[in-house]
Amino acid sequence: MNQIKMQVTINLMIKSETAHRAWATLRPVALCLLLGSVPALAHAQGAPAAQAPASGYSTSTSSSAVAGAQNELYNASGQNGAQPTQDSFHGSVVTGKATDGVLDLSLDDAIQRGLRQNLGLILQTSSQKSANGQRLEELQELLPTVRAATSIEVQQVNLASYGISFPGVPAIIGPFQVVDFRAFLTQNLVNVSALKNYLAAKHNFQGAKFTAEDARDLVALTVGNAYLLCIADAARIEAVTAELATSKVSLDQAVAAHDAGTSPKLDVLRAQVDYQNEQQTLISAKNSLEKDKLALARTIGLPLEQVFRLTDLVPFQALDHVDPETAFQQALKTRKDLKAYSEQVESAAASKKAAWAYQLPVARFSGDYGDIGTTPGHSHGTFTATGEVSAPVLQIAKTRGQEEVAGAQYEQARAKLSDQVQQVNQDVRDSLLDIQSAAKLVESTHSNVELANEALSEAQQRFHAGVSDNLPVSQAQSQTEQANDQYISALYQHNVAKLSLARALGVAQSNYKDYLGGK
């Protein structure tokens, strides 16, 4: 605690000229800090954000992009079956057991595992099966229904109990038996409402299929984001390790200068504080990596005790200029969630017609044929055939109410589709803006890293030559750490922005390699 107070006191005693030079060096870093914190991809209000790492570099923008995409899929899922929640895509179904040794995990391996075991995708697939089951139920109303029954009835009748008495006729008749083997057939000949209900269920099933395909894109985005975050953590550890080595050199210089009598004890204390701060930062960075690796394992269904290492680096690769309007037109053709919304509109339209058709007559045929007698060997065939036409007479309020409910659902479905088209347009343009901004940040922060390293080297040389104390060295080390943090953050944001563009275009699952590039 005394060392920390001494550090603060020394900082307060910096001359104005030194402070001016320090601000000139830190100014680009400060700008990067401001720019890097703008959550430009946060287009879904109320969506849960991913946990930010403890290392200090910004990931809020990319986390909002993933949460927004999850929210879109959640809204497009309809009402059938076991729906995935917005957090389901961060879970998985674990298969197998952890193996000995270290598992090499590439980005492609991680995404393929996620496409097999991610919980959100599994729930969405179950929802698709549920929608297909409802479609088959509605289809049965249009198909013949045949059932069979077999009965054996044994009776003994007391005629006296019914007040029946005839001379020469026994009061007790029986026991006697009747054996009946019979098949029953029912068929709706004309039922417009049943036909429209089937069409509505059919469109719901098609919408569920498109939503399940869209969920595969979201899995690629979620897993890719988790993998890129681990890469950023690993880069952060590498940078802090290098900074720790530099702090150790500065500490050794301060100790040597103090032992030689050319430097005060204050320089040694300041260097020790810097060195210990780097040690603490390294501990925090390693902890963040391990926690983010656990989150990645949860997303792709790896046992949490499985030890693995990342094999892909995904370095910076600039993306060629993409025209927003051209990209938007492409997204209109490839986004599966838009197709799912379109199917919901068609389903609502069919339901609206079904509600109106409930007032129409329904024609049915029913019949049965069987063999009846005292025993199977003493029986005879019998049948019944019935044709029926029924129509509602007085249910005006019910029919009108059903029409209004179905009409309101149809208008809601149309409004959601229209809004989703604009959401896709925004997704594309947001991603392109984030790519451009992140690319500029990568260039700026990379330059800052080079300048900060040069400034640190110059400060160390001046201290070693005895021209100045080690306060400029301490400041230069802090600037280098900030520059490295922002450079790592910019690389992460650029890669996730490109992955978000692939998601916005509806090609994240199939073309993510084209957007991330590199090994």
pLDDT tens-digit map of 139-173: 999 999 999 999 999 999 998 888 888 888 888 88
The 3-state DSSP class for residue 369 equals strand
What is residue 393's predicted lDDT score, i.e. its pLDDT?
Answer: 87
The predicted pLDDT at position 517 comes to 67
pLDDT of residue 113 exceeding 60, the answer is: yes
Res 197 pLDDT > 90: yes
pLDDT of residue 163: 86
Site of tokens 């590199």: 518
Given pLDDT bands bounded at 50, 70 and 90, which one contains residue 48? very low
385 beta partners:
367
> Which is more confident, 496 or 318?
496
Match domain 145-190+361-394 to its CATH number in 2.20.200, 2.60.120, 2.40.30, 3.90.1720. Answer: 2.20.200
User: Considering the chain, what percentage of its residues have pLDDT values greater than 70?
Assistant: 83
CB 235 within 8 A of CB 488: yes
**What is the chain's mean pLDDT, rounded?**
84
The pLDDT of residue 5: 33
Q: How far apart (Å, rounded) are the C-alpha atoms in residues 396 and 401?
A: 8
The 3-state secondary structure of 411-477 reads HHHHHHHHHHHHHHHHHHHHHHHHHHHHHHHHHHHHHHHHHHHHHHHHHHHHHHCCCCCCHHHHHHH
Highest mean pLDDT among 12-26, 160-174, 352-366: 352-366
Extents of the domains making up the chain? 2-142+192-359+422-516, 145-190+361-394
308-354 pLDDT tens trace: 999 988 777 888 788 999 999 999 999 999 999 999 999 999 999 99
What backbone phi and psi angles, to 5 degrees, belong to 357?
-75, -10
Q: Give the residue with greater pLDDT, 14 vs 228.
A: 228
Report the 3 state secondary structure along 93-140: CCCCCCCCCCEEECHHHHHHHHHHHEHHHHHHHHHHHHHHHHHHHHHH
Average pLDDT (105-120) is: 94
Query: Three-state SS for 220?
Result: helix
End-to-end CA distance of the chain: 46
Look at residue 356 and tell me whether its pLDDT is greater than 70: yes
Amino acid at 436: Q
Would you list the DSSP string of 307-362?
-EEE-------PPPP--HHHHHHHHHHH-HHHHHHHHHHHHHHHHHHHHHHTTS-E
Position 59 pLDDT exceeds 80: no
- Kindly report whether the peptide bond that precedes residue 264 is cis, defined as omega within 30 degrees of 0: no
pLDDT of residue 46: 33
The label of the residue with tokens 């995935």 reads: 84
Contact 202, 132 (CB under 8 A): no
* Block residue for tokens 């179904």: 93
Residue with tokens 């681990």, as numbered in its chain:
230
pLDDT value at residue 465: 86
467, with CB counted inside 10 A (0-12, 13-18, 19+), is exposed
Q: What is the pLDDT of residue 84?
A: 66
> pLDDT exceeding 90 applies to what percent of the chain?
66
Name the residue with higher pLDDT: 18 or 369: 369
CA dist 480 and 244 (Å) reads 11
Residue 28: its pLDDT value, please? 37
Residue 261 has pLDDT above 90, yes or no: no
Rounded to an integer, the average pLDDT of 424-437 is 95
Q: Which CATH number fits domain 2-142+192-359+422-516: 1.20.1250.20, 2.40.50.250, 3.40.50.2300, 1.20.1600.10?
A: 1.20.1600.10
CB-CB contact of 57 with 486 (8 Å): yes
